[in-house]
Structure 1
Amino acid sequence: MKQGMARYYGLDKPAQILCVGHSHMVLGIDAERLERELGVPVAKYATAGANALDRLWMVRQFVERQPSVKTVIYDVDPRLFDTEGLSSASYTLFLPYMGDPVMSRYLRREATWQEFYSARVIRTTRFRDQTINVALRGLLGRVENKKTSRMRVEDLQGFLEREAARGIRNNPDARGCFLETIDFLTKRGITVVLVYIPVADLLNAVDPEGQEGVLQVFRDVAGKNDKVVFLDYNRDYQHRHEWFYDLRHLNGEGNEIVTGRLIADLKRLFWEGGERRSSADSTDMDVSSMETILRHRSGRPVEG
């Protein structure tokens, strides 16, 4: 089972690009296509419910295993700093990795002693439906998961009302975990690309002030650190309801569009004639390939 999970998440290969996130990344970005078109190894360590704290430890675990990582694509959205609901017990997703030195430290911190020692003694308790599904998909080589249906707006009113009552949560501890992740990566010379994978405009209309406060955190981080870029794809695609599986997630058509946009930006994003461009200007750049970027990141000279 662990072998299947490692294959699914790419933990077993020396990736140069690592995609990290939750279900938005799972359904929204095609890592196999990234690898094919960029010509470098790409891993996607993303799972539904992974919160900011989980991602900090996911990144630590992956970089410890695969120091080949040069670029991390990190999915962001206005609910990244929400620690309630689905994400409240998300550490249990990583119980299968309790033998990993990094994840063992995380689980000792987050799990109850009953959870930790039960999983240590009874190995089957480390797995739940979600991790079993991940392991099976990895063993079968079915890494990408694309939805074919389109959301039905008329079925979503109840959900939108609940979201309106809930609002955007901006937990300072979760925000601190995010900033610690950025610090961990950039101090190691790893470039971080923050990608706002679109969510439907109907959901964006809920608590716009709270949403703007979170997005400003991402803009500020990118503005202050030349190893960080923020790409906001939400603005261009949030109104394309035919590209959504539900309010939060892209379907296969949306995945195709956003992955293509990301590939184009990764090819052109950072350098032109040796000069760094801002993320806002990324669509106007003319850099030949991601290889140039990765050579520069690794300290090798950039030709031409």
Structure 2
Amino acid sequence: MNFKIFIFRVTVLMVVFFLFDFLLSLFLVKGLDKYYGFGSTPEIMINGSSMAQTGFNRKDMEDLTHTNVSKYTYEGVSIVERKAMIEHFFNKYPKGVKTVIYELSPVMFSTIKEAENVYTLFYPYMDDKNIDSYIRDNAEPREYYVHKLIRTKRFESRLVVSIVNAYVGNYENFKTNQIDSSSVAHLLDEKGTKEVAMDESMIAIFESTMELVRAHSSNVILVMMPIYKAKLETFKKEGYDNMCDYFINYSSKYDKVRFLDLNKERIIQEPGYFSDPLHFNLYGQKYISDTVSWYL
């Protein structure tokens, strides 16, 4: 085969490949934007990990508040990743966001990672400078540049599922399983054994995140997500109370910050609202969505 013809064919194949890769990635990003509510400028943004992911129904809250809601949540993210998410969000929407609902939990100020390689979930948005910087700090150079070059590699299976759900209009938590007494019996032996970490470096990240939110003139509702009673009681009461006192004192300093402790609600005693001690089924999701919407 003539060398020039070979080079021409290879060039054409590469152009076709990268064009298809680019167009498909646009379709996937659009679906992900749709899933997170990055369409019309949202007036309410929800940020958190899997507790917020299973705890809030975006469509229900939009119906209740008559406003656009963005539910920007990832499974396994710490407050480090969540700061990057909020920076990304305000890069997209510097104005118009009235309220940020920010998930709290007794383990949020711990330095122990809940999941490994969480940064891979952010690949679809690596064109954003803050997300790109975060990924560059966490990924191996070869991995980083492969994803930078081949855009469709940025979408792992969990994200593809979310994209499909967005395009078919499925935003529900369809979990109906409930806690039974046998599945949580072991928690009774762990009562009062778990520390509630208050690492200063993590507190600094939280306060820096709140400064960013307030700089965009947004109200903040700090929501301590409900935990099933037997699980909540595994945390040392003094440590949990100290954490709540911190949020009470913090919120009292700012007119636009409110602290809401849902562990004072009856939901924590209702196994029918939980799919496991930390996450919610569709009944728990409705309860939380309705309760928090009342404060908006």
Q: 1: CA distance between counterparts of 2:125 and 2:264?
A: 37
Q: Is the 8 A contact 1:52 1:175 kept in 2?
A: no
Please tell me whether residue 263 in structure 1 is matched to residue 293 in structure 2. yes
Q: Partner amino acid for 1:32?
A: K
Aligned partner (choices 203, 216, 221) of residue 175 of structure 1: 203
What is the CA-CA distance between 1:163 and the residue it aligns to?
Answer: 9.4
Q: 2: CA distance between counterparts of 1:78 and 1:252?
A: 23
Please tell me whether residue 110 in structure 1 is matched to residue 123 in structure 2. no
Please tell me whether residue 144 in structure 1 is matched to residue 172 in structure 2. yes
What is the CA-CA distance between 1:157 and the residue it aligns to?
Answer: 4.4
What is the CA-CA distance between 1:173 and the residue it aligns to?
Answer: 2.4
Paired residue for 1:10?
37
Q: Deviations over 1:160-206 (max 9, x none)?
A: 76897664333332222111111111122111111122110111111
Q: 2: CA distance between counterparts of 1:112 and 1:211?
A: 37
Q: Is the 8 A contact 1:146 1:255 kept in 2?
A: no
What is the CA-CA distance between 1:46 and the residue it aligns to?
Answer: 1.0
Paired residue for 2:47?
20
Q: Is the 8 A contact 1:198 1:250 kept in 2?
A: no
What is the CA-CA distance between 1:15 and the residue it aligns to?
Answer: 0.2
Mapping for residues 92-107 of structure 1, pairs under 5 Å: 92-107=120-135
Mapping for residues 25-174 of structure 1, pairs under 5 Å: 25-66=52-93, 67-157=95-185, 167-174=195-202
Q: Partner amino acid for 2:91?
A: E
Paired residue for 1:230?
259
Q: Is the 8 A contact 2:83 2:205 kept in 1?
A: yes
Gaps of 5+ in 2: 1-27
Q: Partner amino acid for 1:151?
A: I
Q: Partner amino acid for 1:69?
A: V
Gaps of 5+ in 1: 267-304
Q: Partner amino acid for 2:155?
A: F
Q: Is the 8 A contact 1:21 1:75 kept in 2?
A: yes
Q: 2: CA distance between counterparts of 1:142 and 1:97?
A: 22
Q: 2: CA distance between counterparts of 1:174 and 1:147?
A: 32
Q: Percent identity?
A: 27
3-state secondary structure, aligned to 1:5 = helix
| RMSD, matched Cα | 2.2
Q: Is the 8 A contact 1:27 1:147 kept in 2?
A: no
- Greater shift, 101-110 or 82-91, is seen at 82-91
3-state secondary structure, aligned to 1:86 = coil
- The alpha-carbon distance between structure 1 residues 159 and 121, as it changes in their structure 2 partners (threshold 3 A), is farther
TM-score, with normalisation over the residues of structure 1?
0.80
Q: 1: CA distance between counterparts of 2:140 and 2:208?
A: 24
TM-score, with normalisation over the residues of structure 2?
0.82
Paired residue for 1:242?
272
Q: Deviations over 1:57-108 (max 9, x none)?
A: 1111111112321110111111112342434432221011111223112222
Please tell me whether residue 253 in structure 1 is matched to residue 280 in structure 2. no
- Greater shift, 72-81 or 109-118, is seen at 109-118
Q: 2: CA distance between counterparts of 1:152 and 1:109?
A: 42
Q: 2: CA distance between counterparts of 1:48 and 1:79?
A: 14
Q: 1: CA distance between counterparts of 2:246 and 2:116?
A: 22
Q: Is the 8 A contact 1:191 1:228 kept in 2?
A: yes
